[in-house]
Amino acid sequence: MKTQFFKPKKIEKITNLSWPQVKQRFPLMNPYGDADGDKLKNFRDCKPFNKKKQGFFHKDQGVLDDLSIGIDDIKKLKTVRDVQILEEDILRRDK
61/28 Cα distance (integer angstroms): 24
SS3 call for 76: helix
- Tell if the pTM clears 0.85, that is, is over it: no
At 25, give phi and psi (nearest 5°).
-80, -35
The per-residue pLDDT for 52 is 82
The per-residue pLDDT for 38 is 83
The per-residue pLDDT for 91 is 74
In the predicted structure, residue 79 carries a pLDDT above the cut 70: yes
Residues 6 or more apart in contact with residue 76 via CB below 8 angstroms: 82
Residues 6 or more apart in contact with residue 81 via CB below 8 angstroms: none
Neighbours of 17 (CB within 10 A): 19
Residue with the larger pLDDT of the pair 23 and 4? 23
In the predicted structure, residue 63 carries a pLDDT above the cut 60: no
